[in-house]
């Protein structure tokens, strides 16, 4: 619906590619996607504005359909925003969930069913987001993240397909890959990320923004659908 290209597309895409390619970047899955040419990037204006939400949702629908048509491993979709650059961790978290709520509402409005393999309840240990009928896990990046692995020059949301994690589990590759990422993250930060948990153990909503949250934290997301 909105195929136009943002003026900063090439610049922001190059920033992310260089960031992922850096020797100490811990996520080997993102490195694999970059090497295979399956790390898609969409440049947008501001993460604290709904201006680009329809464009983002359009791209998510295309990405989900493309995966169903050719379900290869190590694909990610990154939305990079020009700003703001001064958001602290709480402000970034609030902006992330505002974008997520808006995108989910658009998904429902456009008649997309929630992926039946996951729960839309952010308190459930089986929670994932769903766009275009595919479940997604989000990794938030921004300049002021406390964890070095989440620190990036621009605010960004990286959408990773839940189905890929399940396929890795089926192939017996998930635990080895997870341990490699944790080891690399520990080498970068000096400690392992305390927020990480396997799907089914605790709600992944607690991990999206990268901020360390306590047991009293409640996710602000609410799925507007009534089909579950």
pLDDT in the model for residue 194: 60
The mean predicted confidence, pLDDT, of the chain is 91
Choose between 219 and 29: higher pLDDT: 219
Give which of 139, 159, 164 is closest to 41, Cα–Cα. 159
Give which of 165, 187, 186 is closest to 177, Cα–Cα. 165
Confidence class for position 198, pLDDT limits 50, 70, 90: low
- Whether the CB-CB separation of 189 and 148 falls below 8 Å is answered with yes
| Lowest-confidence pick of 3-17, 91-105, 192-206 | 192-206
User: How do strand 76-83 and strand 134-141 relate by DSSP bridges?
Assistant: unpaired
Q: How far apart are CA 46 and CA 101, in angstroms?
A: 16
Q: How far apart are CA 165 and CA 116, in angstroms?
A: 16
Residues of the chain with pLDDT > 90, as a percent, come to 71
Instruction: Please count the other Cβ atoms lying within 10 Å of the Cβ belonging to residue 158.
Output: 23
- Whether the CB-CB separation of 221 and 104 falls below 8 Å is answered with yes
Q: How far apart are CA 27 and CA 16, in angstroms?
A: 13
24: pLDDT strictly greater than 60: yes
pLDDT in the model for residue 27: 87
Mean pLDDT in residue range 115-141: 96
Confidence class for position 223, pLDDT limits 50, 70, 90: very high
Phi, psi of 17 (to 5 degrees): -60, -40
């Amino acid at each position: 619906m909105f195929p136009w290209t943002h003026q900063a597309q090439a610049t922001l895409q190059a920033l992310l590619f260089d960031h992922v390619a850096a020797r100490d970047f811990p996520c080997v899955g993102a490195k694999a996607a970059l090497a295979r040419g399956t790390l898609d990037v969409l440049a947008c204006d501001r993460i604290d504005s709904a201006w680009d939400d329809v464009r983002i949702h359009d791209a998510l629908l295309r990405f989900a359909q493309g995966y169903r048509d050719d379900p290869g491993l190590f694909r990610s979709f990154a939305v990079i925003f020009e700003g703001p650059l001064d958001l602290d961790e709480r402000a970034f978290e609030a902006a992330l969930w505002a974008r997520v709520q808006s995108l989910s509402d658009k998904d429902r409005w456009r008649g997309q069913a929630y992926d039946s393999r996951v729960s839309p309840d952010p308190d459930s240990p089986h929670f994932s987001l769903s766009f275009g009928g595919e479940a997604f896990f989000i990794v938030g990046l921004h300049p002021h993240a406390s964890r070095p692995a989440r620190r990036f020059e621009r605010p960004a949301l990286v959408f990773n397909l839940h189905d890929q994690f399940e396929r890795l589990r089926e192939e017996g590759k998930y635990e080895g890959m997870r341990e490699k990422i944790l080891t690399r993250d520990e080498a970068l930060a000096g400690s392992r990320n305390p927020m990480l948990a396997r799907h089914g153990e605790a709600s992944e909503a607690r991990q999206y923004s990268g901020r360390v949250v306590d047991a009293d934290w409640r996710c602000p997301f609410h799925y507007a659908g009534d089909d579950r």
